[in-house]
Chain A
Amino acid sequence: MIDTTVDLPGLQLKNPVMPASGCFGFGREFAQFYDLSHLGAIIIKAATATKRFGNPTPRVAETASGMLNAIGLQNPGVDTIIKEELPFLETYQTPIIANVAGSAMEDYEEVAAKLGDSMVSALELNISCPNVKEGGVQFGVDPELAYSVTKRVKQASDKPLYVKLSPNVTDVVTMAKAVEDAGADGLSMINTLTGMRIDPAARKPIIANQTGGLSGPAIKPVAIRMIHQVRQAVNLPIIGMGGIETTDDIIEYLLAGASAVAVGSANFKNPYICKELIDQLPDALAAYGFDSVKDVIGGVHL
């Protein structure tokens, strides 16, 4: 019997697989495909203090081995999410991680405080969305701002806090250390890489926002490298994400140093993907001689 459980701050996971924020809405749409109680956890779509419409369309474009998106943090606002979305998710036996986003320091504090009083198990601090002009990513590329926002959000809520790091930095380790010093309980990495595509016939960017966040298998090697680097330098558990589509991908992330993984845009290709990976994971671990998920974490031989 393969032990797939993982214990992280605030999260007792029956398996290490969860859908990534923004790729799973608030779960409702995927509940028609399988029982969400199978999931290790669910990271819900970003919440902001007030409702946001997001960016103009088109908001997505295909790329080699991935896609660009610039949704722009569209969401109904934290109050509506707590009132109308969380009760549905509460009916499942799965911990919920709420993604906290904002433009200014005070927005982050407000959202975190409100979610701190809700039933969610943990918060994911989104300081890395590349698709909103005001705020957001600036907190994720400046170590001092990342330190401040992490510290203030920690004070605003008692929930364990996972800070989602941006790959759009020169040195991700500096960022990881800054949020560790500020009291983060874990890391979530990586968010999307900023990219752009142009339609040759129209001579215009395909995405209305001009740039978007690159996700999918194209970014997996970048994520693996960054997680490996950060794992050597900080003591925080890492939820790894970026292009996961197979159980081998999951094992690769665990070996690099992730303690759990999130599946993002693969949910768009195959809405059953998380359930399928969870079902396949024990055999995949056994095939490589592992007895448990915990055996794999950080186990890369150098």
Chain B
Amino acid sequence: MQREWMTIVTHRSIASQTYLLELQGSLPQFVETPGQFVHIQVSDEYFLRRPVSIADVDEERGTFTLLYKVMGKGTAALTQKQVGEKLDVLGPSGTGFPIEELTTEKALLIGGGIGVPPLYYLAKNLRERGIEVTSVLGFRSSEDAFYIDKFQKLGEVHVATNDGSLGTRGFVTDVIPQVVSYDTYFSCGPTVMLKGVKEQLKDVPGYISIEERMGCGVGACFACVVECAEDGDAKGYRKICSDGPVFRPEEVIL
């Protein structure tokens, strides 16, 4: 993990309140696994950094792509940053999906809202390894949806929207039963969605990526901890920013 002033090479809106930010510098070459994130200092005005997951890496251009949603004043200020400006970025951070260790043949990816982005870089990595990918993507409405075409290039895609304006009306958990064949699932999204997925797929091996308000983002401040579910675990907790954000569902209490 390092700190770098990275150059903004692309910055545009891709869905309602959702932006694509492509940053160039040396940090992209240090990305180890899909599911890692970076910690962005929006400006001096905003005291805490904002964690944003890495949606794609382009090694040739020396860039990574981040997708973020406007959640408050800090992310709203971030939308004002122009191409060519530099941004204070710390990363790559966290422990992502253990791509090297997988014995998966057919992967089920389940993403909700702004939890979808890290699954895109995961999907590309899985396909490179010859693993079949089926994606279930959930959004609030068609206006909030993004990257569906990009996922479709990598495999079968099922979409759910809360208002039914695109795909199936409902949640990702309403669509998962439509997928016939998979041996491992990979999920990222709001905690309430992860809980539902964990319960629905309790007999399937999986990995989940958790979001939480962070302080330092390096594992020192204990702001973003999650309780460990394993009996007799010496620590009794996991740090989302450094031990995670990706965990086995049975490892943590959501």
Given the complex, which residues of A lie within 8 Å of B164, measured CB to CB? none
B52 to nearest A CB, angstroms? 15
Given A32-B1, A67-B215, A74-B237, decide whether A62 and B220 contact each other with a Cβ distance below 8 A. Answer: no
Chain B nearest Cβ from A192, distance in angstroms: 13
Per-residue 0/1 for B225-239: is the Cβ within 8 Å of any A Cβ (1 yes, 0 no)? 111000000011100
Residues of A within 8 A of B223 (CB): 57-60, 69, 71
Say whether A271 contacts B90, CB under 8 Å: yes
**B74 at interface, CB cutoff 8 A:** yes
Q: For residue A58, which residues in chain B have a CB less than 8 angstroms away from its CB? A: 212-213, 223
Residues of the A chain whose Cβ atoms lie less than 8 Å from the Cβ of B224: 57, 59
Those of A1-51 within 8 Å (CB) of chain B? 22-25, 28-30, 32-33, 45, 51
Of B41, B213, B214, B222, most buried by chain A (CB within 10 Å of CB) is: B222
Q: Are B213 and A57 neighbours in the complex by a CB distance under 8 Å?
A: yes
Question: Do B47 and A60 have beta carbons less than 8 Å apart?
Answer: no
The answer to whether residues A268 and B222 also contact, given A57-B212, A61-B213, A69-B215 and a CB cut-off of 8 A, is no
Please, how many angstroms separate the alpha-carbon atoms of A74 and B222 in the complex?
A: 7
**In the complex the two chains form, is A60's CB within 8 Å of B213's CB?**
yes
* Option from A23, A59, A268 in Cβ contact (under 8 Å) with B48: A268
**Assembled-state Cα–Cα distance A86/B237 (Å):** 20
- Within 8 Å of chain B (Cβ to Cβ): is A205? no
CA–CA, A51 and B227, complex, Å? 14
> Given known contacts A29-B242, A30-B218, is B3 in contact with A271 (CB within 8 Å)?
yes
Give per-residue flags for B1-39: 1 if the beta carbon is below 8 A from chain A beta carbons, else 0.
Answer: 101000000000000000000000000000000000000
Among residues of A, the one whose C-beta sits closest to the C-beta of B73 is: A62
CB distance from B131 to the nearest CB of A (A): 32
A53 adjacent to B236 (CB under 8 Å): yes
Total residues of chain A contacting the partner, CB 8 A: 35
Contact with A along B37-81 (1 / 0, CB 8 A): 000010000111100000000000000000000000010000000
A215-244 contact mask (Cβ, 8 Å, vs B): 1 or 0: 010000000000000000000000000000
A interface secondary structure, majority: loop
| B1 A23 Cβ-Cβ under 8 A | no
The answer on a CB contact under 8 Å between A60 and B3 is: no
Given A53-B227, A269-B41, A272-B3: A60 and B215 interface contact (C-beta under 8 Å): yes
- In angstroms, Cα B240 to Cα A58, docked, is 12
Find out whether the CB atom of A65 lies under 8 angstroms from the CB atom of B47.
yes
* A294 to B227 CA separation, bound complex (whole angstroms): 46
Residue contact B236 to A29, C-beta cutoff 8 Å:
no
Asked if B217 and A268 make an inter-chain contact with CB atoms under 8 angstroms apart, the answer reads: yes
The CA-CA distance from A53 to B222 in the complex, in Å, is 10
* CB of B43 to closest CB in A, whole Å: 11
Contacts of A66 in B (CB 8 A): 47
Establish whether residues B221 and A271, one from each chain, have CB atoms under 8 Å apart when the complex forms. no
Which residues of chain B come closer than 8 Å to A23, judged between CB atoms? 216, 220-221
Q: CB of A270 within 8 A of chain B?
A: yes
Residues of A within 8 A of B90 (CB): 271
By a CB distance below 8 angstroms, the chain B residues around A28 are: 219
Question: What's the Cα separation between A78 and B109 when bound, in Å?
Answer: 42
Is A265 engaged at the interface, CB distance under 8 Å to the other chain?
yes
A135 at the interface (CB under 8 A from B): no
- Pick the contact of A29 from B48, B220, B226, B235 — CB < 8 Å? B220
Nearest chain A residue, comparing its CB with the CB of B212: A57
Task: Please pick, from A24, A62, A271, the residue contacting B46 in the complex, using a CB distance under 8 A.
Answer: A62
A216 CB → nearest B CB, Å: 6
Report if A63 contacts B (CB, 8 A).
yes
A28, A53, A59, A268, most chain B CB atoms within 10 A: A268
Tell me the bound Cα distance from A54 to B223 in angstroms.
10
A59→B218 contact, CB < 8 A: no
Give Cα A247 to B237, complex, Å: 37
Is the CB–CB distance between A29 and B214 below 8 Å?
Answer: no
Additional A-B contacts beyond A22-B221, A29-B219, A57-B224 (6; CB < 8 A):
A45-B222, A60-B215, A69-B223, A268-B216, A268-B217, A271-B3
16 A-B residue pairs with CB within 8 Å: A25-B222, A29-B219, A32-B1, A33-B1, A54-B225, A57-B223, A57-B225, A57-B226, A60-B48, A60-B213, A61-B213, A62-B46, A69-B221, A269-B48, A269-B49, A271-B216
Residues of A at the B interface (CB closer than 8 Å) are: 22-25, 28-30, 32-33, 45, 51, 53-54, 57-63, 65-67, 69, 71, 74, 76, 216, 265, 267-272
Residues of B bordering A, CB below 8 Å? 1, 3, 41, 46-49, 74, 90, 212-227, 235-237, 242
